[in-house]
């Protein structure tokens, strides 16, 4: 790693707690270099000094790092598997189901979880905590208002039932908002949750180094109840899951068995 980028990583970590040394370097550096040049800077340190007191440009950097792309029912078939095959394994539990949507971005994922589960269990039996490192994304998530493009994969019947539509915007119904708590959480730094029955963490670990991925899997395994399930993204199969006491039960679903 060159000295300029290393220094930039240190400065950014001090200011935000985001540790870019745990994200794949080549990809991240390329993304940030184009932004740096757009702002007329010729080194990462110069770029950092230029933006650090300019909120708009600083937010632009955070947006570039966090990649908030999301959608309701992203990879629709996987959600069918959650509903038909995974949920029956989880809902035998007495008491509330504890669910963690980790790296939830702008909220489409935790709302999708609530919508899927609501087909089978009352919402007062579900407790969803949805977390992300990006406060702006969390603010959008709490708002629960989306444009048409976020609902591309949502079948019409589900759209009509779970959203109110006004002037081309879709408002998530209040009862779904009430069963989700949104919180800021950095997967590479903050303490992990306990006694979780289902962790959904999709499309973020692809950006992490192998060491950082291992760190997250180890912690997820500790967070899960015995027989709890981890649901990962469609390009994120875990290499050698047994080392984390996780066992594949369906493609992209792993069950903790200690």
Ligand X SMILES: C[S@@+](CC[C@H](N)C(=O)[O-])C[C@H]1O[C@@H](n2cnc3c(N)ncnc32)[C@H](O)[C@@H]1O
Q: How far is the CB of 69 from ligand X (least distance, A)?
A: 5
Q: Which is nearer to ligand X, 123 or 188 (CB)?
A: 188
Among 12, 137, 154, 238, binds ligand X (CB under 6 A): 137
Q: Which of 61, 70, 98, 130 binds ligand X (CB under 6 A)?
A: 70
Where does this chain touch ligand X (CB under 6 A) — which range of 87-95, 116-124, 129-137, 223-231? 129-137
- Give Cβ neighbours of residue 241 (< 8 Å, ≥ 6 apart): 217, 247, 248, 254
Number of residues that bind ligand X (CB under 6 A): 23
Helix 3-16 / helix 44-51 crossing angle, nearest 10 deg: 30
Using rule CB under 6 A, residue 204 touches ligand X = yes
DSSP secondary structure of 86-126: IHHHHTTSSSPEEEEEES-TTTHHHHHHHHHHHTTS-GGGE
Kindly state whether residue 221 participates in binding ligand X, applying the rule CB under 6 A: no
Do the Cβ atoms of 131 and 101 come closer than 8 Å? yes
134 lies in the site for ligand X, by CB under 6 A: yes
**What are residue 135's phi and psi, to 5 degrees?**
-65, -35
Binding residues for ligand X (CB under 6 A):
66-70, 74, 103-105, 108-109, 132-134, 137, 185-188, 202-204, 233
């Amino acid at each position: 790693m060159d000295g300029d980028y290393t220094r930039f990583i240190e400065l950014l970590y001090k200011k935000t707690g985001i540790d870019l040394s745990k994200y794949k370097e080549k990809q991240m550096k390329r993304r940030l270099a184009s932004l740096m040049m757009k702002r007329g800077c010729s080194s990462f340190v110069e770029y950092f000094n230029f933006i650090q007191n300019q909120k708009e440009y600083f937010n632009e950097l955070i947006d570039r790092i966090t990649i908030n792309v999301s959608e309701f029912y992203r990879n629709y078939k996987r959600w069918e598997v959650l509903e038909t095959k995974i949920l029956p394994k989880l809902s035998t539990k007495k008491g509330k189901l504890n669910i963690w949507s980790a790296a939830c971005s702008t909220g489409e994922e935790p709302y999708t979880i609530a919508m899927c589960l609501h087909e089978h269990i009352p919402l007062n039996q579900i407790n969803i905590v949805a977390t992300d490192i990006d406060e702006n994304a969390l603010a959008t998530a709490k708002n629960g208002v989306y444009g048409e493009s976020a609902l591309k994969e949502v079948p019409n019947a589900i759209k009509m039932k779970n959203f109110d539509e006004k002037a081309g915007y879709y408002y998530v119904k209040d009862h779904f908002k009430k069963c989700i708590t949104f919180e800021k959480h950095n997967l590479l730094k903050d303490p992990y949750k306990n006694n979780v029955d289902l962790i959904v963490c999709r499309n973020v670990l692809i950006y992490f180094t192998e060491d950082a991925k291992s760190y997250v899997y180890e912690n997820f395994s500790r967070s899960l109840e015995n027989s709890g399930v981890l649901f990962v993204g469609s390009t994120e199969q875990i290499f050698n899951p047994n080392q984390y006491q996780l066992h594949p039960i369906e493609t992209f679903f792993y069950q903790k068995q200690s």
